[in-house]
Each structure stands twice: as structure tokens, then as C-alpha cells.
Chains A and B, each alone.
Chain A
Amino acid sequence: MLIELAVKSLASRRKSVLLTFMSLVISISVLISVEHIRSQAKDSFNRTIAGVDLIVGAPSGQLNLLLYSVFRMGSATSNIDYESYQKLKNNDQVEWAIPMSLGDSHRGFRVLGTDENYFKHYKYGNKQTLALSQGEAFSSLFEVVIGADVAQRLKYKVGDSVVIAHGIGSTSFSKHDNTPFKISGVLAPTGTPVDKTLHVSLNAIEAIHLPLSKQNLLLKNPAAVTLKPASVTAVMLGLKSKFMTFKIQRDINNDQNDRLSAILPGVALTELWQILSTVENILTGISILVLISSLFGLSTMLLMTMQQRSNEIAVLRVLGAGPMILFGLVLIESLVVILLANLTALTLLSGALVYLSDWLAVNYGLFLSGGLLNWRILELVLMITIAAVITAFIPAIEAYKQALHTSLSANS
């Protein structure tokens, strides 16, 4: 009965209640999504790359190198010579080397020129190697292996023809219409940027960039043109001994004849994460402040209506409702609002995650799972609810006081 009374009382003040409710929904959504993105981002972040000891690229900051080589974001300041790659590959300490040639795209997805070592040695998550869900790795010039998301989003399957464009972005002026590729394989999903990448051979990248006349010639007779890559964007190295990592890194960085920059992926990831977590801490701080202001909004709304409700309180009083019951009534009202707001925020966010996860993944490299209901989030919701009840003490105490001082005929 009391709950029914609280609900109907709220319904009778639906305009102000609705506004307060919406401000609560927004602030709770912000807080929960920041928390969710924080935990999910850290997970997906840390599983992006594993088992690679060094990443080598043109001299630049380690974050930039990490971003374009691992996360396929941004672009390299410059390339490194193909000879440098071969020198690294032939180093005694190097067990394997993965060349990476970036800079082209297919309908918004990045194209990576590499070789068979990529499929053999690139690892992610818990040191898993890449696996093909369909077909096989590329073996000839115009073959391409696509990531799981590329296949899913563009509805590609093995045997389809695709056109690869020079430059990045889904609308490129110089589309390499002349160089159609055939899909030879589709990779199994990894939850990393690999899913959003098309993989071709290094020679294929060269072929795309040939003058039109040479391309025509190449299409007619593949043996007529000799392709020799001039440069790569970055190289990933696996070393024979992990203990040599720092020495090799120092050697590469200090080589006066060949200006290169070698980074440790783990160290770079940590640095990147620290930058991101500062942003996240700020975001969490702001969202908590927003929530607090919404909670005060709720308590102000309830407090303001206390004056208008003096008749209501007098009626409940003469019916035998004691001050504690009126205190409880206001708490129930705030509880109803906050629980509905929590529920709405969780529903909205779950819905948004389902619809926006692809978009977030493609545009921001954020891989979010739709499962909001973990303990961390429930704990957060519980804390929000408790905070709401505590702030509702202010109007509830007011109701208690009003009940104590009710006079039966306030109007006469």
C-alpha cells in the first residue's frame, strides 16, 4: 500500500519527476559506460599483441609506432628500407621477423602487406596464433586473407573478388580498380585489430602502386614484371633469447648507419594505457560529479514538493500515519525513482552496446562485450542506489518534521 501510494504520488507529479528521472538516467548511464569501457578497454587492449619481442619502425615516438603497427591507427611518419628489414631478419639473434607494409585500405578497412611469417608467428591474447576459419593463407600475388569482421561486415567469402585502394578511408580518389584481389582465406575472430584487416603479400602492395600501364602488363602476364619491395612500414621481431631483448633494442636504436626505432610492445602498451587511464580517471570523476548533482536534483525535487504536499501530509497524519511512515514514504519515492533510473540506464546501455559495438570497434578500435551485468557494474548500481537513499534523507527528514508539526486545520 505504501509503495502504491509512493508510485501514485510520483505519477501525480510526473512532469518534475520525469525531468529528475531523465537527469538520473543520463548520469547513471555515463557512469556505467565509463566504468564498462574502462574494464573492457583494458582487457581488449592487453590481449592485442603477445609473443612479439620488438617492433621496429622509422624513428618516431614509441606510441606512434605501437598505434600504427599494432592498432592500425594513424599512419607512419616514414617507411624503413627493405634492406633494413632483411638485415634485421638475418640477425643471428632474431628467430623470426614479420614485415608490415601499411598505408592502403579497402572500404574503410586497413590493408596489411606481409608474408607467411605473420600467420606463423603473430600472437594475441593468451599467446594464440592466428587461425583460418575458411580457406588458406595467400600463396599468389593477387590473393588476400581477410579478418573475421571484414568478412562479416562486407559479407565476403572465400573466392570473392575485392579491389584494394591506395590511401586510407572508405572513399579514396585513387582506387586501384585495375588490381582485383581474390579472397583465399578468412581468419577466425580474435577480438583484436587483426579482425579488421586485409592481408596481402608484400609484392601485392608493390603491384598496387605500379603505374597503370605496368599493372595492365602484369595482369596479362605475371612473369613480365619483376616486383621488388622497396620499403616496409614496420617489422615485428621474435628473438631467440628473451634475455637479449634489451641489447638488440639498444643495438637497433644506436645504429648510426640505419636510423631505426625499436620498441618493446609491453612497455609501449603500458605507457599508452597510462595515458588512457588518466583520461578515464578524469571521466570517472566527472561522471561521479554529474551523478551527485542529479542526486541532489532528486532530493531538491522531493524537498520542493514537501511544501505543496502539506495537505497530503495532514490527511495521512489524521488517518494514523506516524512521522516515521511519512519519512519512509519519501524514501520509498526516491527508491522507486532511482531503481527505475538504474533499470532504464542498464537497458539503454545494453541496447546501445548491441547496436554500437561494431561502430565503436571499427571507428575507435574499442571491442566491447554486450554483457553489462557483471559484479563490478552491479556493485556500482548498488552504490548509486545507496547514495540516492542517503540524499533522500534530506526531504525525508523534512517530511518527518512536517508530520510532527501538522496542524489539523491549516486552512482555517
Chain B
Amino acid sequence: MSVHLSESPPAIELRDVYFHYDKRDQEPVLVIKKLVVQTAEQVFLYGDSGSGKTTLLNLLSGVAVPSKGEILLFGQPFSKLSSRKRDKFRSRHIGVVFQQFNLIPYLSVLKNIQLASYFAKKHRNDMENRATDILLGLKLPLEVLHKPARALSVGQQQRVAIARALINQPEILIVDEPTSALDMSARDAFITLLTEICQQLKTTLIFVSHDISLKRYFKTAIDISELKTTGFHHVN
């Protein structure tokens, strides 16, 4: 039995989650007996390609649902919600950053960020100020705000992607190999920035990568293949 140190429910909790791509398949692609991530925790999830990383990400963000078991976010049965409600929940509470192609290339940086608050239905007048603050925090020059996203360097695009993921003040930020398109020095700066800003905003961070060398930036590291076989249970 685990002992919960915090009184509030954990940010993420997976219970007996099974996932099959096809319902007729006998062998599940992914089995996770138990996974708990506390609020404001920063978790490094690593595993080789094919280890089920993508599946886990799809489940955590609600794009896919488990064929068995359930996923709770802040105590809410996220995976049991209707797809419309999951979409809404995601837009408000989960930020996602991919490896690449995070932005709509033909929209300006500002529009890209506005899109996130549009779908979250959080129209606010200070949106531009908040975007400015976050961009400054991410050490992006402000003149990029009105440039089309495709005019930015890959490193800048990744930082804008984080700014967009954070604009709705999500409780959970999921990043999937965000540094694979960056070079070494840019990668260091990027991860440091990311972990700092998540700490500031008390955002739960799930950082997924196949690159085990990035492990050193995080207190908690989970090997997906191990998780799959043993059913990891983690308490902060």
C-alpha cells in the first residue's frame, strides 16, 4: 500500500490500464497496473521507439482511451469522459509539445498562441500581455510575435510551442522529444528553461524521450519498458 503525502488527489493516476489498437487483438500494446504522478512533479519518461511511449502519450492527453482500466487526472475519471468533454478538458488543463511541427506554419506566433485560448474558450483581454510575459520568460525576442511561425528557427518554434502550451495555465504539460531537433547547447538551454518555468508555475511536467542522457535534469525517471512489465508505482 502506498502512503499519499499530499492531501489533494495526484495529478495523474493510471489504474490497471490496458490498451489494444484493435479490439480483436489478444495481446495488449500497453499494460500499466499503476502509475501515480503528483502535482508539480517533473517526470522523465524514457524508452526506445516501439516501447509504447506514443501510446502512453495518447492516453495521457486523451486522444486515445484505454480498452480497460482508467486514467484519473486530479481525481477526475478523465478516460471515462465523452470525447467532447475530453477535448475540452485537454484544451484547458493539458499542454502538449511535440518533437516538431507544433505550430500552424502560416499563422503568426501570436495567432498560434491565441488559438490555444480560443479552443479552451478562455478569451481574455490580457492574452497578448500574458503571451508576451511567457515569451520573455522563454527568452524569445518579442518581434517574433507577429512573424509567421514558419519564419522562426526550430529552437524558437519549440519555445513558442511551450509558450502556447502554457498560455491556458495547464496543470499538466506533456512534452514529447521536444529537443530532438535541437543541437546540444540549445538542448541544454531548452530543458533548463522548461523545468524552471514549470517549477515557477507549479505545472506537472511529463517529459518523454528515448535519450537517456537527459535523465540528469529530472529527479524522477521512469523506464517505460520496466513500467510495462512491473506496473510502476511512484509517489513523490
Residues of A at the B interface (CB closer than 8 Å) are: 1, 4-5, 8-9, 11-12, 311-312, 314-323, 325, 406-409, 411-412
Contact = CB atoms under 8 A, between A and B. Distances in A.
B53 interface: yes
B116 A12 contact: no
Contacts of A4: 111
Contacts of B49: 412
Given A1-B118, A8-B106, A408-B54, A311 B87 contact: no
Nearest to A10: B106
B87 A411 contact: no
DSSP majority for the A interface?
helix
Interface in B100-158: 100-107, 111, 114-116, 118-120
Contacts of B176: 408-409, 412
B119 A407 contact: no
B96 interface: yes
A5 B115 CA distance: 9
B159 interface: no
Contacts of B177: 409, 412
Interface residues of B, number: 39
Given A322-B87, A408-B96, A412-B177, A317 B63 contact: yes
Q: What 4 pairs between A and B have smallest CB-CB spacing? A: A320-B91, A12-B106, A320-B119, A311-B101
Contacts of A411: 98-101
A265 B116 CA distance: 72
B58 interface: yes
Contact of A412 (B54, B92, B105): B54
A325 to B, nearest CB: 8
A205 to B, nearest CB: 72
Contacts of A314: 98, 101
A9 to B, nearest CB: 7
Max chain A C-beta neighbours (<10 A), residue from B91, B100, B107, B119: B119
A9 B106 CA distance: 7
With most chain A CB atoms within 10 A of its CB, the pick from B107, B164, B177 is B107
Contact of A409 (B57, B83, B84): B57
Nearest to A317: B63
Contact of A1 (B88, B96, B114): B114
Contacts of A311: 101
Contacts of A325: 119
Nearest to B64: A407
Contacts of B58: 407-408
B90 interface: yes
Contacts of A9: 104, 106
Contacts of B92: 320
Interface in B68-94: 83-84, 87-88, 90-92, 94
A409 to B, nearest CB: 5
B103 A315 contact: yes
